[in-house]
Chain A
Amino acid sequence: MNPLLILNVVRFEIRRSLSPGRIAIWSILVLFPIALVAALRLLSSRAAENAEAWGMALYFLVPEVVCLLGLLLWATPAVSTEVEGQTWIYLAMRRSGRNLVLIGKYLTAVLWSCSAACVATTVCTIIMGSAGGLQLWFVICVLSLLSCLAHAALYILIGTVFFRRTMVTAVFYTLLIEYGLAFVPAMANRLTINYRLRGLLAEWMDWTTARTVTENIGGQESAWVHIVVLLATSIALVTASILRLTWTELPTQQEG
């Protein structure tokens, strides 16, 4: 598969999605954590002493909320919008159209969401002042990237399996698994992406208090284990989506 062709798909997808509506949603995603952190900063007088609490709040707001919201909007409907808009047939008629378009749309969704997350993290870290710092900024940005890569792969797969009622299925999955099961202190929560991200946060920030409190919901494995699991999960999910899309008869148009 020619990587230049994938870049071509990404460029086309960004070009076609560069609309006022999309930019407005991107701006809301950026402003939402900034507004919350700014409000908390104004209300709290002991920012520096609560560095861990501020860090946890920023982690929850950005990699777990902003990234997931962005990906729900941009990764989940990647295939279903083409199917519903009856434009899928044009892409499916190209030699490698199905695979290239899927990967291109996946990377575009990661790009949109991760850029919103990184901009929001940058501004929030500045607002937090001494409670933030370069290390927190860097860790949250890396976690945002990993969150986007893994969650986008997950939502893309949901989108290819359930190309009707895609959004409902993805929201239901997120609430039940990523926000529900991930907080259950049991073996099952290791199957969630958020468990790995929390483990990495605790590992990289070296927060002993937070680590003790969140021992069972943040993972005790080394950072490399978490990273390898997240990247392997992302690759496996995208591969599963490609296979699913290659051998699925998607509706192309109204029967005539």
Chain B
Amino acid sequence: MIQLEKVSKLYGTVIGANDLTVELGAGAYGIVGPNGSGKTTLINLLTGQLRPTLGKVSVFAQDPWRNRKLLRRIGLCPATDVLYPNVSAYEWVTYQVRLHGLSQADSKQWATESLAQVQMTENMHRPMGEYSLGMRQRTKIAQALAHRPELLILDEPYNGLDPVGRHQMTQLLIQLSEQGTSLLFASHVLHEIEEITSSFLLIHGGRLLASGTASEVEQIIADTPQEVVLIGPDVPKLIPHLADQAWVDSIQLLAERTELRIGLRDPSNLYHSVADWISNDQLQIDQFQTANSNLTAVFESLLRHHRGESK
């Protein structure tokens, strides 16, 4: 379904995608990466909005930049908001479907059906200026679905949705996936994607750092040096304890001696020891940040793995 061969995209001197090579068959995939990691660049390359500086992009065996007819088979829900204040969701979605060349009658019918799928039937004739962020998000998803695409690309689709809305959306996406629609779901929140698919692409700095199932990615992280950050006025007092440990790779004292960065291969050793040190020495430590609680740190770990720094 999707093939990227050594694809790079430069914005002047800034690199948006860096030597991406990936092949994806039909199915559901999550694109995970922190903000600014290159997820949207990848989506824009796949939808023919950007032309790769180097390499080749192919979707359904066609070049999306050169063949715009391909867009009929792709639905995109971008991350950006949409607001035409005095137009209703029904008018807008009908218009969007009509731009694919469908008849007026079919456009109206399909728009009504997709708005029903996202629970917008009741409000679809109200002007969009009166909508909440969640309602606008549902409308955006409806326009992506309305022309019945084979590949649905969603960029941060849960933005603005309340927990009920998120659950409904998850159920809808699972249902679409089961019905044979391929999904590409970009998010910086891992667990949002995990509910829908177990296949991930992890992107950071425009590079594809890892791909595979959650357990495969976890194994890569486990094999990669990780960083733990401790913050508090007494963090320098932990240094004598840490300096003696074989599992500690590096220690950095930062931010006016209140932030301690510890590089280690297996954080479990630290988790076993640090509570005792703090308790015995009566230390004040305000924050404990691990790679697992901080997606950027996970990606930093993966980046080190990507550079060949893992054991």
What is A's interface to B at a CB cutoff of 8 Å?
Answer: 2, 5, 8-9, 12, 15-16, 18-19, 85-87, 89-98, 100-101, 249-250, 252-256
Contact = CB atoms under 8 A, between A and B. Distances in A.
Interface in B14-34: 16
B180 interface: no
A256 B36 contact: yes
30 contacts: A5-B99, A5-B101, A8-B95, A8-B99, A15-B86, A16-B84, A16-B86, A18-B86, A86-B78, A86-B80, A89-B76, A90-B82, A90-B96, A92-B49, A94-B71, A94-B96, A94-B100, A95-B99, A96-B99, A96-B101, A97-B71, A101-B99, A249-B51, A252-B40, A253-B78, A253-B80, A254-B40, A255-B38, A256-B37, A256-B188
Given A95-B71, A252-B78, 5 more contacts: A15-B87, A87-B82, A89-B76, A90-B143, A253-B79
| Interface size range of chain B in the complex | 35 or more
B78 A100 contact: no
A98 to B, nearest CB: 8
B173 interface: no
B19 to A, nearest CB: 18
Contacts of B104: 8
Contact of A94 (B36, B40, B99, B186): B99
Q: Which 5 A-B pairs have the closest CB atoms?
A: A94-B99, A86-B80, A253-B80, A256-B40, A12-B95
B79 A256 contact: yes
Interface string B82-120: 111111000100011011110010000000000000000
A91 B16 contact: no
B155 interface: yes
A254 B80 contact: yes
B86 A95 contact: no
B69 interface: yes
B99 A256 contact: no
B87 to A, nearest CB: 5
Contacts of A94: 71, 96, 99-100
A256 B156 contact: yes
A82 B79 CA distance: 15
B245 to A, nearest CB: 39
Nearest to B188: A256
B68 interface: yes
B47 interface: yes
A40 B115 CA distance: 57
A2 B101 contact: yes
B190 to A, nearest CB: 15
Nearest to B34: A256
A19 B86 CA distance: 8
Contact of A252 (B37, B44, B81): B44
B83 A85 contact: yes
Contacts of B98: 5, 8
Nearest to B98: A8
B138 interface: no
B99 A100 contact: yes
B49 A252 contact: yes
Nearest to A256: B40
A68 B249 CA distance: 70
A9 B40 CA distance: 28
A249 B186 CA distance: 21
B40 A255 contact: yes
A93 B71 contact: yes
B41 interface: yes
Contacts of A86: 78, 80-81
A113 B81 CA distance: 30
Contacts of A91: 99
B76 A93 contact: yes
Contacts of B239: none
